[in-house]
Homo-oligomer: A and B are copies of this chain.
Amino acid sequence: MEKIIVVGAGLCGTLLALRMAQRGYQVVVYERRPDQRKSDFVGGRSINLALSNRGLRSLEMVGIKDEILKDCIPMHGRMIHSLSGESWHSPYSGRKQDYINSVSREELNMSLLEAADKFDNLTVHFEVKFQKVDIEQAHIEFVDKDGNHKSDKAAIVIGTDGAGSVVRKSLMGQTTKLLFNYSQDFLSHGYKELSIEPGEAGAFKIEKNALHIWPRGKFMIIALPNLDGSFTVTMFHPYEGEYGFNTMVSDEDIVDCFEKQYPGLIKYMPNYLNEYKQNPVGTLGTIRCYPWQAYGKTLVMGDASHAIVPFYGQGMNAAFEDVFVFDEVLNEYEGDWSKVFTAFQDRRKADADAIADLAVDNFYEMRDHVDDLAFKEKRKLEMNLEQEFENYYSKYSMVTFKEELSYFDAKKKGRKQDELLLELCKANRHKELSLQEINSKVNQLNS
C-alpha cells in the first residue's frame, strides 16, 4: 500500500495517522517535540479542551471513543459567577444526554499515540527538526534527534503541524503560483493560565461538572475541571487598557485586579499572584488560508489550515472532524490524491470559516452577554424549547451536539434563530407566546 508522510503528531496528526494506518497505508509521522510518554511529564497544570460530539464521532470511527471518555469529566453547563458573588448554572442543552467533556490535551494525545503504536504500518519519529518541504514532490528534509541530516519521500505529505505550520508556510512560499490566500487575525486580548489546586483527597473545590465563567464585560476568567480535582483557570484579558496584561505591572496592580474583579475566585487560589507572574501570556488568533492542497501532493489539515480562537470549544473538534470528512472523501475518490485533496478542501473550507466566525462571536457572548437579563431569558427559553421539541436546537447545540449538521449550516441557521429569540426576549414578547408558537416561528425561519 502507498506510503504517506504526516507532519506533526499532535491531536489531529495522530488521529489521522491512526485512521490511515487502519485503511492500510504505510504511515510515517514526524514530530518536532519529544515523546510526551517518555519525557518526565509533570502533572499539575495542563491545557484543557472540551471534547464534544464532532470530536467523539471521529474517535468512534477509529474505535477509541469509549476509552477516551473514561479520562473525561462531563460538563453539563456553564456555571456563571457574578461580581457580587452570586452564581448560577446555565445548562448547555435542554437535553440531559447533551454535554461536553473536559479532557487534558496531554492525556488525550498520549492515548492517541498508544493506539497508534499498535499498528506495524505506522511509525512516529519524535524530536525532528524540519528543514524543507518540497510540496510538489512530497519530499521532506529534516535533522533527526541524533543530529543527522535526513530526507524522506512519499506519495503525499499531510501537514497537521498546528497554527505555526511549516507545511502551510511552504504552500505560502508559492503564493503567486498557487494564488495562495492567507490571513492571520489577532484579538486584542491574550490569555494566561492559572490553577485551582485539588482539595483534600482530590476533592473539587467548586462544582465539578461545569465550565465556570467569571464574566466581567471587557474580560473574563474561565475554569475547567481536571480528573485530579484541580481546575485549569484561564484569564482572557486585553493587552492594553484597564486590567490589561501590559498595563498590570506591579504586584499591587495584579492584586488590585483580582481583589476587585474576582474576589470570589481568589479564595480558591492562594497562590494566584506567583502563578500570574510566572506564566506567560498567549495570543488568540484566527488563521485562514486557501487552497489547502497543492499538486495533489501536499495537504494541510486541522489548525495548520484553520486555527481558531478557543471560545466555542471547537478547535480540536473541528480538527478531528477534518479527519472524519477526509475519510468520507477517501471512500469516494481513493486512488486519486488530486481528487481526494480537492474534494476535501471544497467540502470543508466553508465549515472551517464558519466555526472561525462563531468562535469569535462566542468570545463576546461569554465575557459580556452571559450576564445580560435578555440573554439569560433567551437561554431559559431555549432550554424549554429543547426539552419540549425534539427538532429544536439552539445555535450552541447545533454546533456542539448536532454533528450531522455542518458548521456552515449551524452558523447560518443559528444566527437567524438567535436574532429572533433575542428580539422576542428584549421586547418581553416571549412570555405572551406559547412555546409551540415560538417553535413555529423558528421553523418558519429555517424553511
> Using a CB–CB distance below 8 Å, which chain A residues touch chain B?
175-176, 179-186, 188, 239, 283, 285
**In contact, B188 and A179 (Cβ under 8 angstroms):** yes
Measured between beta carbons, the chain B residues less than 8 angstroms from A188 are 179
Bound together, the chains give a CA A385 to CA B432 distance in angstroms of 50
Bound together, the chains give a CA A283 to CA B175 distance in angstroms of 10
Chain copies in the assembled complex: 2
Bound together, the chains give a CA A446 to CA B185 distance in angstroms of 32
Bound together, the chains give a CA A185 to CA B175 distance in angstroms of 10
User: Which residue, of A180, A184, A285, has the highest number of chain B Cβ atoms within 10 A?
Assistant: A184
| Residue from B175, B180, B184, B239 in contact with A182 in the complex, judged by beta carbons closer than 8 Å | B184
The smallest C-beta distance from A321 to any residue of chain B, in angstroms, reads: 25
Bound together, the chains give a CA A183 to CA B287 distance in angstroms of 10
**In contact, B180 and A184 (Cβ under 8 angstroms):** yes
The smallest C-beta distance from A289 to any residue of chain B, in angstroms, reads: 9
The smallest C-beta distance from A1 to any residue of chain B, in angstroms, reads: 33
Bound together, the chains give a CA A99 to CA B179 distance in angstroms of 34
**In contact, B181 and A283 (Cβ under 8 angstroms):** no
**In contact, A184 and B181 (Cβ under 8 angstroms):** yes
A-B contact pairs, 19 of them (CB 8 A): A175-B184, A176-B283, A179-B186, A179-B188, A179-B239, A179-B283, A179-B285, A180-B184, A180-B186, A181-B183, A181-B184, A181-B185, A181-B186, A182-B182, A182-B183, A182-B184, A183-B183, A183-B184, A183-B185
Measured between beta carbons, the chain B residues less than 8 angstroms from A175 are 184
Bound together, the chains give a CA A169 to CA B92 distance in angstroms of 43
Q: Name the residue on B nearest A284 (C-beta).
A: B179
Bound together, the chains give a CA A283 to CA B180 distance in angstroms of 11
10 closest Cβ contacts across the A-B interface? A183-B183, A179-B186, A181-B185, A176-B283, A182-B184, A181-B186, A181-B184, A179-B283, A182-B183, A175-B184
Q: Name the residue on B nearest A188 (C-beta).
A: B179
Measured between beta carbons, the chain B residues less than 8 angstroms from A186 are 179-181
The smallest C-beta distance from A179 to any residue of chain B, in angstroms, reads: 4
The smallest C-beta distance from A189 to any residue of chain B, in angstroms, reads: 10
Bound together, the chains give a CA A179 to CA B185 distance in angstroms of 8
Measured between beta carbons, the chain B residues less than 8 angstroms from A283 are 176, 179
The smallest C-beta distance from A157 to any residue of chain B, in angstroms, reads: 23
Measured between beta carbons, the chain B residues less than 8 angstroms from A184 are 175, 180-183
Measured between beta carbons, the chain B residues less than 8 angstroms from A239 are 179
Bound together, the chains give a CA A183 to CA B180 distance in angstroms of 10
Q: Name the residue on B nearest A185 (C-beta).
A: B181
The smallest C-beta distance from A181 to any residue of chain B, in angstroms, reads: 5
Measured between beta carbons, the chain B residues less than 8 angstroms from A179 are 186, 188, 239, 283, 285
Bound together, the chains give a CA A186 to CA B185 distance in angstroms of 18
Bound together, the chains give a CA A239 to CA B179 distance in angstroms of 10
Bound together, the chains give a CA A186 to CA B183 distance in angstroms of 12
Q: Name the residue on B nearest A176 (C-beta).
A: B283
Bound together, the chains give a CA A180 to CA B188 distance in angstroms of 11
Measured between beta carbons, the chain B residues less than 8 angstroms from A182 are 182-184
